[in-house]
Amino acid sequence: MKFFIVTLAAALFVSCGTKNGLQPTVELQNPIIPGYFADPTIVEHDGKFYLYVTADPWGADFLSCWVSDNFRDWTFQPLNWPTKEACTSPASNENKVWAPSVVKKGGLFYMYVSVGSEVWCGKAKHPLGPWENMLGDKPMIAYDQSRFYHVIDAEAFIDTDGKSYLYWGSGWDWINGHCFAAELNDDMSSFKSAPVEVTPSNYFEGPFMVKHNDKYFLTYSDGKTIDDTYKVRYAVGDSPFGPFKEAGNSPILKTSHSLQTFGPGHHSVFPFDGKNYVLYHKHSLPFPATTVLRQVCINEMPFDEAGNEITTIIPYDTQSFPNLAKKQQQYIPAESLTASSQQSDDTLPEYAADNHYGTRWEASDEDTTPSLSAGFKGKTSVDSLEIRFEYPWKTYFVKIESSSDGNSWQTVADYSDSGISGSPVLVGIHKEIESVRIVFVRKTDDPKPSVWELRFY
C-alpha cells in the first residue's frame, strides 16, 4: 500500500521567510515526534517544551515524555512516575498508563493520569520530576465498580480567576460516555465539592476545557479511537459546569481521506505567541492497522470571533510555527539509502532519510543480518549521526560502521552486546567518509530492525 509522503521542500527543517518584520516561522511536519504515541498534553517551562504522551499500543507500564527547546527537535525522556507498579490499588484493573494532563500552578507542576482505570495525581517541582504521588499509594478517583462510566482521561483546567477544575470520564464498549467535573481545593488533590455530571451531546471521552471571550468551550472526542470515526467535538457554556450546548459547527476535527488523516482526537490545546494550537493523535500509516499505533500532530485552532465559535480545523500535514531555533544546524543530506532487505513497499530504506516521522524503514522478518546504509556524494566530512529507532524505550543491538572508499569498513560504535535505546541516539563520527551503515544483531525478543530517520551533521 502506497501512501502520501511530503516532499523535502515542505520538510520539517525548512524555514519560512518573514513579512513586515514578523517573527520568522518554520514548517513543522506532522507527526511531530517519531514513534507511536497518543493523548498529548504539554507545558512550557524555562524556555523548553515538555510533551507528555501515552505510549502505544494501548499504553505501557510507564509514561512517555519528550523535551524540546525549539518545538522541532525532540528528545525522549524517561520519568520516575507514574508507573503501573506505583499506581495500582486493590480495585485497579489491567489497563496501563494512559492520558496524562499536566498543569503548572504556584510554582509546582501537577499531573493527572489514568492507570488501571483510575485517576492518579502527582506533583513535582520540575516538569521532569522527580514526581511523587500526592495521595501516597491511593488513586484520586477510584475505579467505578458499577461500570456506569470509565474513570479515565482526567484533564485539569485553571480558570482566569485562579480556581482549578478537573474534568474526566469515558464510556465502555465505545458507548455511553459520561463527563464529570469538580472544583479542586488548593491542594490540587481533593475536591471542593461533590463531582457533577456535565456530559454534552455526542460526548465519549477526552475532555479539554478552553475559555475564550468569557465563554467555556468544552472540547472532547467522539467515536472509536481504533478506527476512522474518532473526531473532536465541542460544546459551549457560561460557567465551568455548563450547562454545555454542542456548537452548530461541531465536530471541528475529523478524518480526512484526502489528507491521509484517520481518527484524529484526544487532544489538548495550548496558546503560544498569540495563537492557539491543538495537539492530537491520529493513526499511523498505512491505515487500517492491525493495532492502535497512533502518532502526535499539531495544527492551529483559530476562533471565529464574529460567531464566537472554534473554526473547523483542517489536519494539514504541515503547520507553520515560530522558529525558535537559537542556531541553524548544518544537516548533511545522504545521497542514497540502501538496505539488506525491506519488510514491504511501505518500509523502503529511502524513507529513513525523507525528513518525515510518518514513514520508516523496516527489515524483512527473514533477514538474519539486517543493515541500513547511507551513502554520500564523494568523501564528506561528517561530525555525527542521529538515529531515530522505531521505539525509543526499547533496546537495539547494533554496530555502526563507516567507510571512506565503499569497500573497507571501520567500527564507529559497537552496541551489539550492550544495546542502546533512546531517541535520538547520537553517534560521533568525526571524519571524512563516503558511507555509513547500521548493522543490527538479532536477539531473542528484541525489537524489529526499524528506523524512522537518520540525520547527519
Instruction: Output the DSSP codes for 205-219.
Output: EEEEEEEETTEEEEE
pLDDT at 169 over 80: yes
Question: Is residue 26 domain-resident?
Answer: yes
Which one has a higher pLDDT value, 405 or 427? 427
Let me know whether 223 and 260 are in one domain. Answer: yes
Mean pLDDT of 397-407: 93
Average pLDDT over residues 391-420: 95
Same domain, yes or no: 345 and 304: no
Last residue of a domain, one of 297, 322, 347: 322
Give the mean pLDDT of 165-188.
97
In a domain, 1, yes or no: no
Residues 267 and 350 in one domain: no
> pLDDT above 90 covers what percent of the chain?
89
> What tens digit of pLDDT does each residue of 266-282 get?
999 999 999 999 999 99
Task: Tell me if 109 sits within 8 A of 93, measured CB to CB.
Answer: no
CATH code (residue 365) = 2.60.120.260
- One domain, residues 68 and 33: yes
pLDDT at 443: 87
- Judge if 349 and 452 occupy the same domain: yes
Q: Report, as an integer, the average pLDDT of 127-149.
A: 96
User: Domain holding 116: CATH number?
Assistant: 2.115.10.20
pLDDT of residue 17: 47
DSSP letter assigned to residue 256: B
pLDDT band at 190 (very low <50, low <70, confident <90, very high): very high
Number of other residues whose CB lies within 10 A of the CB of residue 402: 22
Tell me the C-alpha distance between 423 and 431, whole Å. Answer: 23
| Residue 297 Cα distances to 118, 269, 281, 360, angstroms | 27, 12, 6, 17
pLDDT at residue 9, rounded to an integer: 35
Tell me the one-letter amino acid at 127.
P
The pLDDT confidence band at residue 10, using thresholds 50, 70 and 90, is very low
Percent of the chain residues past pLDDT 70, beyond the cut: 95
Predicted confidence at residue 309, as pLDDT, reads 96
By residue count, the chain amounts to 457
Whether pLDDT at 5 is above 50: no
The residue segments making up the domain with residue 73 are 8-322
Give the pLDDT confidence of 191-247 residue by residue, as tens digits.
999 999 999 999 999 999 999 999 999 999 999 999 999 999 999 999 999 999 999
Domain boundary among 298, 322, 346: 322
| All three cell numbers of 216 | 467555556
Residue 328 lies in a domain: no
Let me know whether 298 and 216 are in one domain: yes
C-alpha dist (Å) from residue 408 to 124, 257, 412, 436, 441: 52, 47, 13, 11, 20
Answer yes or no: is 275 within a domain: yes
pLDDT band at 446 (very low <50, low <70, confident <90, very high): confident
Q: Does residue 12 carry a pLDDT above 90?
A: no
330 within domain boundaries: no
In this structure, the answer to whether residues 429 and 359 fall within a common structural domain is yes
User: Across all residues in the chain, what is the average pLDDT?
Assistant: 94
- Residue 23: the pLDDT is 74
Strand duo 64-68 + 231-237: pairing: unpaired
Same domain, 344 and 287: no
| pLDDT score of 14 more than 70 | no
Asked if 287 and 221 sit in the same domain, the reply is: yes
- Flag whether 391 is in a domain: yes
Decide if pLDDT at 20 tops 50. Answer: no
Q: Are residues 40 and 122 in the same domain?
A: yes
302 pLDDT higher than 90: yes
Predicted confidence (pLDDT) per residue in 318-365, tens digit: 999 999 998 877 889 999 999 999 999 999 999 999 999 999 999 999
For the cut 90, the answer to whether the pLDDT of residue 146 exceeds it is yes
Mean pLDDT of the region 425-434: 96
Q: Are residues 95 and 193 in the same domain?
A: yes
Residue 293 falls within a domain, yes or no? Answer: yes
Do residues 235 and 202 lie in contact, with contact meaning Cβ atoms separated by under 8 Å? no
327 assigned to some structural domain: no
pLDDT of res. 116: 98
- The residue with cell 486493590 is 90
Indicate whether 352 and 433 sit together in one domain: yes
pLDDT value at position 22? 64
Total domains present in the chain? 2
Mean local confidence (pLDDT), 433-453 = 94
Of the residues 262, 291, 322, the one at which a domain ends? 322
